[in-house]
Structure 1
Amino acid sequence: GMTRSAAEGCLGLEQLTLQDCQKLSDLSLKHLARGLGRLRQLNLSFCGGISDAGLLHLSHMSSLRSLNLRSCDNISDTGIMHLAMGSLRLSGLDVSFCDKVGDQSLAYIAQGLDGLRSLSLCSCHISDEGINRMVRQMHGLRTLNIGQCVRITDKGLELIAEHLSQLTGIDLYGCTRITKRGLERITQLPCLKVLNLGLWEMTESEKVSVTEILLPRYID
Structure 2
Amino acid sequence: MQKSCSGAFLMRLPFSFQVITYILSFLPIADRKEAFLVNHTWYLAAQDSLRQVKPTPPAALIRVVPSLAAIESLARRHVSCVSLTNLDGSTISRDVIQAVSCHLGQHLRSLSLRGSSLTETSFMHLLLACPCLSSLDLSGCNCLFMSGMLLSKPETIDQAQRALANLQELNLSSLRYLSDLSFNRLTGCMSRLARLSLARCHIIFEFDPYHGSSNYNSSALLSFRNLLSFLKEKASSIRALDLSGTSISLQAMRSLVQVEGLHLQEFTLQNCRDLSNEAVSLLCVYQPQLTSLDLTGCSELSDWAVLAVSAGLPALGSLRLGKLQRLTDGGFVRIAELRSLQKLDVSECSRVSGSELVKACSSPELRPNVASLSFAFCSLLQVSL
TM range, smaller chain? 0.7 to 0.9
User: Residue 23 of structure 2 aligns with which residue?
Assistant: none
Q: Bigger shift: 71-80 or 1-10?
A: 1-10
**Which residue number corresponds to residue 20 of structure 1?**
140
- Give the 3-state SS of the residue equivalent to 2:334 in structure 1: helix
Contact 1:59 1:84 in 2 (8 A): no
Q: 1:152 to 1:208 in 2, by over 3 A?
A: closer
Query: Which whole-Å CA distance do the structure 2 matches of 1:189 and 1:84 have between them?
Result: 28
Query: 2:120 matched to 1:2?
Result: yes
Scaled by the length of structure 1, what TM-score is found?
A: 0.82
1:212 corresponds in structure 2 to 358
1:73 and 2:202 matched: yes
Specify whether residues 176 and 135 from structure 1 end up closer, same or farther in structure 2 by C-alpha distance, changes over 3 A only: same
Larger radius of gyration: 2
Counterpart position of 2:263: 115
Equivalent position SS for 1:82: helix
Q: Evaluate the alpha carbon distance shift between residue 138 and residue 46 of structure 1 in structure 2; reply closer, same or farther with a 3 A threshold.
A: same
- Structure 2: which 5+ runs fail to align? 1-118, 206-223, 369-385
Match among 208, 229, 238 for residue 90 of structure 1: 238
Does residue 254 of structure 2 align to residue 134 of structure 1?
A: no
Work out whether residues 56 and 82 of structure 1, in 8 Å CA contact, stay in contact via their aligned partners in 2.
no
Contact 1:52–1:74 (8 Å) recurs in 2? no
Q: CA deviation at 1:48?
A: 2.0
Tell me, in whole angstroms, the C-alpha distance in 2 between the residues paired with 1:91 and 1:29: 26
- In the alignment, the residues of structure 1 paired with residue 347 and residue 326 of structure 2 have an alpha-carbon distance, to the nearest angstrom, of 13
Match of 2:324 in 1: 175
Aligned length: 216
Identity of aligned residues (%): 23
Q: Which runs of 5+ in 1 are unaligned?
A: none
2:171 corresponds to 1:43: yes
Matches within 5 A, 1:135-174: 135-174=284-323
2:227 aligned partner, one-letter code: I
CA RMSD of aligned residues (A): 2.9
Give the alignment's TM-score, normalised by structure 2: 0.50
Q: 2:217 maps to what in 1?
A: none
1:105 aligns to what?
Answer: 252
Question: In structure 2, what is the Cα distance between the partners aligned to 1:80 and 1:186?
Answer: 33
Q: Is the 8 A contact 1:52 1:75 kept in 2?
A: no
1:11-40: CA deviation from partner (whole Å, max 9, x where unpaired): 543221112211232553774974523211
Question: Larger RCO: Structure 1 or Structure 2 (Cα < 8 Å, ≥ 6 residues apart)?
Answer: 1
SS of the aligned residue for 1:16 comes to strand
**Would you say the 8 A contact 1:51–1:74 is kept in 2?**
no
